[in-house]
Amino acid sequence: MCCLTLHLNVRAEGSWVKLISPTPATLRNCSFVDELNGWAAGDNGIIVHTSNGGDTFVIQNNPVDYYINDIFFLNKRLGWAVANEFLLNGTTLLTTTNGGINWTAKFLEDTTRIFRTVYFLDSLNGYLGGFGGAINKTTDAGNSWFTVTVDSSEFSGFPIAKFKFVSANIGYACGGQIDIAGVIWKTTDSGSTWNAGGYSPEPFYNLFIKNSERIISVGGDFEYGVQISKTTNGGSNWNYQSLGLFGQAYSIDFRNSKEAWMPLGYARHWAVSFDTGMSWTTIPVTDSAEIYSVDFTDSLHGWAFGLDGVILKYTYITNITNENLNIPSSVTLFQNYPNPFNPKTKINYELKIADFVSLKIFDVQGKEIQTLVNENKVAGSYTIDFKAENLPSGIYYYKLETGNFSQTKKLILLK
């Protein structure tokens, strides 16, 4: 087999690691402003905060003990959150000016407008979105709010899930209703007026803006699974796509210009794209966690939050040495050795490029017996030991999947 020999050894490993959480309460939304400072919020009025990149998370005291729908931080000092105890009783707005050391609560007087997401463009101008297509705006840091103009189209009255802005003037909101429509709103005058359009049969839960022209909205439902809708011309046209993946995309963020991650909630998988969202594959979440929110501050650091207070951290480490490195010219899965074996055998494989790798053992009925590899790997050659002390004699199979490569080979256990 041909290999290319280099004198520069570049090793990069990325993985999601479960962190110690200070709460068992579900965390649904998060907001990070840099690689050190971030917040997450959810059930029972819980807000957790890290100031050291996730080494520790602490619970911040705040005046509410009921569900926090959304949290948003503009910088290390200024943050806002929206909470609802009972949907028909109006919305509570939480505000901090010192990074959450102190939170103040303000009950929004108009109980006919129920809000579930908050976004601030700068320290003064912010937006609330909620049920019935309700959008309010503030120009004084949230001290007062006023109703903006939303068009009267058939889609404008659906619930709003998230806001994102391209610039001071141009912004988007997404939302919708299950089994009816996924809706995207757009403003070109700093949120004073909004126009809505239906671009999918199921609701959207989040947006990612790559630039002024390229935007992705993501969502889905229980029956039809994950969906996305993309524009490459600033929202003039949207291209809907059902990905055929189980779950719903509750959040989306890009680790770098090409690699995107979407947590699929109750499906306990990630949807991951390595080609700017053109194609997607699923990856099991660490410890089978149920994740609802993800945030990358840069290509090296990311965080995810979910059910039962789970917190995951993504770390991508690159080490460079002057050792020789043989890079395989293709992906190859070798026959295990020895074969037949008792009770241990070795499985070798080679990678041409860094990618996510899955290596699993199955019985003759196709039932998964053991996962040997389930993580990102750099280019190179690998040897995995498979121990079968607790398995009966018989024929088994091992399957390697990475990128577009998939291959299965047979191994025989004789005791």
Question: Which pLDDT belongs to residue 9?
Answer: 39
Lowest mean pLDDT among 21-25, 35-39, 411-415: 411-415
Question: Which pLDDT belongs to residue 188?
Answer: 97
Does 63 score more than 90 pLDDT? yes
CB atoms closer than 10 angstroms to residue 139: 14
- pLDDT over 90 percentage in the chain: 77
> Using one digit for the tens of pLDDT, what is the confidence trace for 215-246?
999 999 988 899 999 999 999 999 999 999 99
Helices then strands, each counted (H, E), the chain: 0, 38
Question: Which pLDDT belongs to residue 3?
Answer: 41
Question: Which pLDDT belongs to residue 87?
Answer: 63
> Using one digit for the tens of pLDDT, what is the confidence trace for 304-348?
999 999 999 997 654 433 334 455 668 999 999 898 899 999 999
Q: What is the mean pLDDT of the chain?
A: 90
Cis check: omega of the bond before 284, within 30 degrees of 0: no
Question: Which pLDDT belongs to residue 267?
Answer: 95
Token pair listed for 304: 């995810």
Handedness of CA 298, 52, 376, 9 (dihedral sign): positive
Question: Which pLDDT belongs to residue 150?
Answer: 95
Question: Which pLDDT belongs to residue 320?
Answer: 39
Does 393 score more than 50 pLDDT? yes
Tell me how far apart the 2 most distant CA atoms of the chain are, in Å.
76
Q: How far apart are CA 27 and CA 39, in angstroms?
A: 10
> Using one digit for the tens of pLDDT, what is the confidence trace for 82-99?
999 876 678 999 999 999
Local confidence band at 379 (pLDDT 50, 70, 90 cut-offs):
confident
